[in-house]
Every structure is written in structure tokens, then in C-alpha cells.
Amino acid sequence: MTALKIIGIILGAVFLWLVLIRVIKHFYHCPAPAFIGRFLDSRWRRWLQSPDKIIERSGIKAGMTVVDLGCGSGAFTTSVARVVGREGKVYAVDIQPAMLKQLERKLSKAENQDIKNIELKQASAYELPFGDNSVDLVYMVTVLPEIPDRSRALREVRRVLKAGGILAVTEFLPDPDYPLPATTIKMGQRAGFVLDDNLGNLWSYTVRFKKPA
Ligand SMILES: C[S@@+](CC[C@H](N)C(=O)[O-])C[C@H]1O[C@@H](n2cnc3c(N)ncnc32)[C@H](O)[C@@H]1O
């Protein structure tokens, strides 16, 4: 079999997977099942979506108070915690206890014992457990299109962000909920955010917004 045929088969399979899951999700809305947490936080995922790149594109810096909204099994949480450092804080928020359990297990591993600045919170994006204007940055990796009422979730993100605070939305094409960058930009702007930057490529991008001062 030629390399071209193999690539064609892989692309065809990915396309069919995306169509099938999108059709199912159209009729039956649910968050990503917790069993995919293992894939989300795998070596393969990190190779495809490097945490360092996502952190840089999102504008995450030392000392920030950050919310990992829809953190899942924590694919990016520990790397972010190391970047924000001792002066910073990461709140890992997810609606599914089973996802947070996986992150808890990850944090209990020997290699993560140096991390002391992550707090896990089971909550919905509709009701974030933070005060008004209290957070420097909220990032969402392959989460926003999974939320049925995105406008409501974005309004809530706006509430908790400080003036000038950052919302970073990262999307990734193999995700069955993947939206085009233009769709994400429109959603953010409709919710009252100002577009700061759109980084990456079509299949893996981060749109960065700012809450107006
Ligand atoms: C596809 S996973 C992505 C997880 C993680 N951000 C990552 O990239 O590995 C989407 C996550 O968003 C969470 N989620 C979906 N709807 C949510 C909501 N309304 N509030 C909070 N979390 C939600 C799901 O439970 C799931 O863990």
C-alpha cells in the first residue's frame, strides 16, 4: 500500500468519525465522556498539542491567577501551574467529578509533588465559584463548543475576569465539536470581549480575547 493510500484512509476515517459524532451530538448533548481522559492526557496528545505552545499562545505568565475551565483530566493544568509559579494560582474547574478524579490521581504522582498551587473545583461554566473581577486569565481547551449555552458561559467568564483580563480559547480539529476560528471569534465578540490575537493554524488554534477595561 502506498503512503498516499494510507494517508487517504486515515483522513477518511477521521472525517467519518467527526461526521458520526457531530450527528449523534446534535440529538444527544453531553460532555466528553470521562473515559477519554486517558487519551486527552496522553503522550500522543502532548505531541499533537504541546502544552508549552498553548501556554505561550494563551498569554499565561508567572504570578497570574488562572482558571482552567473544563480542565478534564488535567492535560494542561500541571504545566500551567509550573509557569504561574508560587506567586500564581490555578483553579481547575470541571463539571464532571470523574474527570477531576483523574486530575487528582495525576497530582498524587511523585513527579507532581512540587506543585502546590492547583485547586480543584467541581462547577459548571454557568456558575463559576469566583468573585467578580477576581481572575487574570481563563483558558478553555476544546471546551467551549461542548457547552450548550455558550453565551451564558462566556458572560460568566467575563464576570470573573479582571478588567483587561484574558480569555484564551483553544480548539483542535480532531475534536468532534471543533468550530472554525471565525466562529469562535464571533462568539467571543458577541459576549463583549475584544479580539487580542488569533494564533496557530486551522487545525489547532488559540483565539485570545481581552475583557475591555
Ligand atoms: C473535550 S474535554 C477537554 C478537557 C481538557 N480541557 C483538555 O483539553 O484535555 C471537555 C471538558 O469540558 C468539561 N465541560 C463540559 N461542559 C462543561 C460545563 N458546562 N462546565 C464545566 N466543564 C464542562 C467536560 O466535563 C470535559 O472534561
CA of 171 to the centre of ligand 1 (A): 12
The residue range of the domain holding 4 is 1-30
Under DSSP, is residue 181 helix (H, G, I), strand (E, B) or coil?
helix
The protein residue whose alpha carbon is closest to atom 4 in ligand 1 is 72
Look at residue 33 and tell me whether its pLDDT is greater than 80.
yes
What's the structural domain count of the chain?
2
Q: Tell me the whole-structure pTM to 2 decimals.
A: 0.92
Which residue ranges have their beta carbon within 6 Å of ligand 1? 31-32, 40, 70-72, 75, 94-96, 99, 124-125, 141-143, 146-147
Query: Is there a single domain that holds both residue 24 and residue 38?
Result: no
29: exposed, middle or buried (Cβ count in 10 Å: 0-12, 13-18, 19+): exposed
Distance CA 166, CA 155 (A): 13
In terms of domains, do 65 and 164 share one? yes
Determine the pLDDT at residue 26.
Answer: 73
Query: Exposed, middle or buried, 80 (CB in 10 Å: 0-12/13-18/19+)?
Result: buried
- Torsion angle, CA of 131/141/119/32, rounded to 10 degrees? 110
For the chain, the C-alpha Rg in angstroms (whole number) is 17
Q: Is there a single domain that holds both residue 4 and residue 46?
A: no
Supply the residue whose CA is at minimum distance from atom 14 of ligand 1. 70
177 vs 69 pLDDT, higher one = 69
- Shortest-distance atom of ligand 1 to CA 125: 20
How far, in Å, CA of 3 to CA of 18, rounded?
Answer: 23
Decide if pLDDT at 199 tops 80: yes
Burial class of 165 by CB neighbour count within 10 A (0 to 12, 13 to 18, 19+): buried
pLDDT score, position 130: 98
Q: What's the CATH number where 105 sits?
A: 3.40.50.150
What's the whole-number mean pLDDT along residues 29-42?
89
Q: Are residues 1 and 37 in the same domain?
A: no
